Chains A and B, each alone.
Chain A
């Protein structure tokens, strides 16, 4: 009963949550959605066909169905994005909570490293890392995590510092609470809501960064379908087949809109004062 009320009370959140779940389900059940078409195979006799009833988004220069590739591309884009967000969340929070709780030289080392990453245009480093380590979706993820974890580290550190010197924390330490218990039962729960808000609002941005990297050819390797790289392929055929770049771009745009709105509504729910 209570659950139902929650979803009814937050209509915006519910609406975008359903949309987000639909997108995820569409990616998971891509073979069903596309009716069993193969995203990697096409017939050259059907190359560069304009959108029609048989191919509602048209075909690319190898005769592959763009609709199928866009749906399958959601797998690569979504899994990479969620991977990135989960990793920066974990790495950043772990680093920040540790730095804030222990202080001293631990804090110094972690935060100086974070400063170093911040004193630096993000995409340059991501490009260099992804490019030097070789193009693959794994390396693109590593590159983006490397650049973005600092935000979470700073945030969780400042949240920990806010309660570090409270009396109840000192009392818990004095009465013999283990460090592990302090970190997981006192420090982490305190920082978590804000961090979750940040993570949900970051999904869209991370997706755009990943798409930019693979657009430049530093992400998923062809022929695997991925939206950023599909746009790159579409660029070459812009004059003869503009649909090749319109639909993958539209897919990125729509997914980012849905996740941005979802993030906004999560923030409204968890942190009413900022709304």
Chain B
């Protein structure tokens, strides 16, 4: 059963990837920008009409759509996503070079987010309808309505311009320069998570086993951390997986603000300069990463929750 399910998911991933590859290819094919001209202007050359026509022929941009698509797909399967027009380097190399900074940013912001959301959510649930709960709920509400790029700009204004605690441009990649972008992302996410933690903990606190444990005189802190917390964790894992995936793509705004050398920044500049090969490679890679992460998250349920494991075995 388990193996069949896995195979099904893998097949699904493959279908989605092919679909996405076709859509992105079609979009770039139909788009108004001219990659050849962009390529030359990026290199500082004003191309003549003949040169443009010649290069188009050379790159195979004059072939019919299906031919171009199939040729591109065949190369992709070999791991060759072509060369970036503007940066004149293989797309795979460029993407891999930017992957680690973005992963680093993602992980750090997830960590910071958990540091904020878990204690706040638990506090808010344990002291339900007391002032601290109202305060936390108010904060999460504000957090949900703040555009994350605005938060980033405000943080920058406070910490880089007024007190020179952090560099304005985070291209160095050390901890000091990664902190503010990560904090921006963490703040934006933590409101959603705090609410989720609160709801999950409240739900668990209403369960019979909590009443039972209290009646037996088990200390409240033990109930909270040994029983309630692990159970409340499960819904978080699903969200966690989705967040990691969407962060990998969603960091672009913050990366642009802080000039952070990550995937998102690369993608935005690729898009503004109509660097099609790079855009296609980026979209496909991210789709693949995202789906693999979701698969791993689903697979991890069994490891985290014994109830799920039991269900699998019964089937």
Contact = CB atoms under 8 A, between A and B. Distances in A.
Residue picked from B147, B157, B271, most chain A C-beta under 10 Å: B147
Given A127-B271, A132-B27, A215-B253, A119 B290 contact: yes
Contacts of A211: 147, 149
B155 to A, nearest CB: 11
B248 A128 contact: no
A83 B291 CA distance: 30
Interface stretch (B16-24, B76-84, B120-128): B16-24
A208 to B, nearest CB: 5
Interface string A197-217: 000000010001001100111
Interface stretch (B28-36, B51-59, B216-224): B28-36
B147 A208 contact: yes
Contact of A127 (B19, B148, B153, B252): B252
B147 A132 contact: no
B166 to A, nearest CB: 14
Interface string B214-251: 00000000000000000000000000000001101110
A249 B147 CA distance: 8
B271 A218 contact: yes
Contacts of A132: 24, 27-28, 31, 33, 271, 274, 276, 279
B297 interface: no
A116 interface: yes
Interface stretch (A49-57, A238-246, A265-273): A238-246
Interface string B26-53: 0110111100000000000000000000
B153 A235 contact: yes
A249 B32 contact: no
B205 interface: no
B161 interface: yes
Interface in B130-150: 141-142, 144-150
Given A128-B279, A134-B31, A249-B153, A116 B145 contact: no
Given A115-B16, A132-B279, A133-B27, A124 B145 contact: no
Contact of B283 (A128, A133, A235, A253): A128
A212 B283 contact: no
Interface string A65-98: 0000000000000000000000000000000000
B211 to A, nearest CB: 24
Contacts of B286: 121, 124
Interface in A106-164: 112, 115-116, 119-125, 127-129, 131-134
A256 interface: yes
Interface in B265-298: 267-268, 271-272, 274, 276, 279, 282-283, 286-287, 290-291, 294
Contacts of B20: 116, 120
A212 B290 contact: no
Residue picked from B13, B146, B290, most chain A C-beta under 10 Å: B146
B16 A121 contact: no
B105 interface: no
Contacts, number: 132
B75 to A, nearest CB: 19
Nearest to A252: B147
A215 B151 CA distance: 13
B110 interface: no
Residue picked from A216, A245, A253, most chain B C-beta under 10 Å: A216
B156 interface: yes
Nearest to A240: B161
A234 B271 contact: no
Contacts of B248: 121
A48 interface: no
B150 A253 contact: yes
A88 to B, nearest CB: 18
B87 interface: no
A257 interface: yes
B257 interface: yes
A131 B268 CA distance: 8
B158 to A, nearest CB: 10
A231 interface: yes
A242 B157 contact: yes
Contacts of B157: 238, 242, 245
Nearest to B251: A123
Contacts of A204: 144-145
Contacts of B27: 128-129, 132-133
Nearest to A125: B283
Interface of B: 12-13, 15-16, 19-20, 24, 27-28, 30-33, 141-142, 144-150, 153-154, 156-157, 161, 245-246, 248-250, 252-253, 256-257, 267-268, 271-272, 274, 276, 279, 282-283, 286-287, 290-291, 294
Given A124-B267, A128-B282, A204-B144, 9 more contacts: A115-B16, A116-B15, A116-B20, A125-B283, A208-B147, A211-B149, A215-B253, A231-B147, A256-B146
